[in-house]
Amino acid sequence: MAATAAIGTLGSAHYFDATTLAVGKANGLDGFRFYFLGRGGVLGDVEAGVVSSAFGYFNPALVDKMWTSAKERVAPREAARLYLAASHELARAKLAEADLAAFCEAAATIAEHIDPAGLALYAGIAAEPQPADVPARAYHLCNVIREGRGSAHLLAIRAVGLSPREAHQIKRPTELAAFGWESELELSDDHRQRWEQAEELTDAMLEPAWASIDEAGRQAVIDGLATMSAAYA
């Protein structure tokens, strides 16, 4: 899908932005702990293994360390709402002059048509209230749709017989250490072919949601993503 890359980039733009980091620091959380607790906090006060299953690509030992130490300082649901609120404030600053009403309408329709079955992280963020103002709502919807695809892709990876660690190394070969992996796996052409199959399966899983908007809606998504991408560049 043409919009996938833009949504993936935009939806993560607030993760380690100065606005987000300042909110985390004010609540006793460094950037990495705020990322884990803020993004995963929509799941509630769960064990680290639950978060690891929903995030997928991180070394479970890293998830355990970050999640467990972070939730000793801030309740997970509170952290999630602080994290989302920080993303909304950044969007208001970046997108105050942008015309994104049509994007919001189309993106909300897509999000409403993503089947949450098996998509825990998506279901968690989709249950959070959407901001009333257009700039924050537009960015919030990017996050929701991003988590929808991420969660669906994790299911697809398992369905084709790949481990999340294998898939991560194929997609992000230079980011192993950041995700807690100290060594590379030996991967074959078969692994890479399976990853391509997972990409196709992910698209197929999300096709009904994207088919819920008409041509005008698709154009509104494309135009809105271009506007937001320029503002966040």
Residue labelled with tokens 């293994």: 49
Q: How confident is the model at residue 129 (pLDDT cuts 50, 70, 90)?
A: very high
> 3 with 222: CB under 8 angstroms?
yes
Q: Where are the domains of the chain?
A: 4-232
143 pLDDT higher than 90: yes
Q: How confident is the model at residue 221 (pLDDT cuts 50, 70, 90)?
A: very high
Average pLDDT over residues 119-133: 97
> Which tokens is 193 given?
């072919």
Percent of the chain with pLDDT over 90: 98
64 pLDDT higher than 80: yes
- Residues 66-107: pLDDT tens digits? 999 999 999 999 999 999 999 999 999 999 999 999 999 999
Which of the pair, 4 or 195, is modelled with greater confidence? 195
Q: Residue 116 and residue 107: Cα distance in Å, rounded?
A: 16
128 pLDDT higher than 90: yes
Q: Residue 121 and residue 167: Cα distance in Å, rounded?
A: 18
Q: Residue 50 and residue 208: Cα distance in Å, rounded?
A: 28
- Residues 183-206: pLDDT tens digits? 999 999 999 999 999 999 999 999
144 pLDDT higher than 90: yes
3 pLDDT higher than 90: no
Query: Could you tell me the pTM of the whole model?
Result: 0.95
Average per-residue pLDDT for the chain: 97
